[in-house]
Amino acid sequence: MKQYKTLMMALFLFSILCFSRVNAMTHDYTLLGKTIYIDPGHGGPDSGAISKNFYEKEMNLVLSKKLGKYLSEKGALVYYTRDGDYDLAKSKNNRKRNDLYARVKLINNSKCDLYISMHLNASPSRKWNGIQIFYSNVLKENKKVAEVITNTMKENMKNVREYKKENGYYMYSKLNVPGVLVEAGFVSNPNDNYKIRQEEYQDILVKNIAKGVEVYFS
């Protein structure tokens, strides 16, 4: 009986050892200590790009939450500028500018290591398609973020366009921490519009953005 008990105890300890090893292997906390702000574009009265009954603001939030989940699993502390269908404007006068200003304040005050702004593109022509990352050169570092995430995504996805400098957006020129704007596809392109609504594709997309973030911090 004593021998049996010893054997059971040994088996128990062995299984704990195996389990914790597997756990350690599946959870590599590569983003531990990093704070990342995710900014789902638009919200509330501002729907962003619209195509039939497809609202950009809704998809931005879906993609942002998925991205946040992957980044947290890798150990990052993740914040969102919004986590529901609302905007951040404090007054109805100049509402859009007010909303963007509130986002800038949140992100800058957080002193986070990185921000990712999630949007979808739209064009009068249906033929424009693909994912594209934009950066403002208000910070030198932003170009590197755009380059690393774009190149990482290109390794696993076909529809990634070259990253581009864009200094014309109010919000990104005011941010004093590194980050980029991700335009995750064109709602005006039938193929992009279809793909972005498929959960499987959404997972591939955000996993590759998260991978790019990992590479950037490595």
CB of 182 to Zn ion, least distance (A): 10
Among 34, 74, 119, 195, binds Zn ion (CB under 5 A): 119
* The residue type at 133: I
Q: Does 41 bind Zn ion (CB under 5 A)?
A: yes
Q: Which residue is nearest to Zn ion (CB)?
A: 119
- Torsion over CA: 208, 170, 82, 75 (sign): positive
59 or 153: CB nearest Zn ion: 59
Q: What whole-number distance in Å separates Cα of residue 212 and Cα of residue 91?
A: 37
- Give CA–CA dist 209/118, Å, rounded: 11
User: Which residue of 43, 48, 68, 185 would you call a contact of Zn ion, by CB under 5 A?
Assistant: 48
179 touches Zn ion by CB under 5 A: no
Shortest distance (Å) from residue 54 CB to Zn ion: 13
User: Taking CB under 5 A as the rule, does residue 185 contact Zn ion?
Assistant: no
Please give the helix or strand (H or E) that residue 56 lies within, else none. helix 56-73
Residue 168 — φ and ψ, nearest 5°?
A: -85, -5
* CA 27 from centre of chain: 19
Q: How far is the CB of 55 from Zn ion (least distance, A)?
A: 11
Closest CA to 65 of 89, 84, 46, 43: 84
Q: How far is the CB of 118 from Zn ion (least distance, A)?
A: 9
Q: Which of residues 66 and 119 has its CB atom nearest to Zn ion in the complex?
A: 119
Residues at the site binding Zn ion, with contacts judged by CB under 5 A: 41, 48, 119
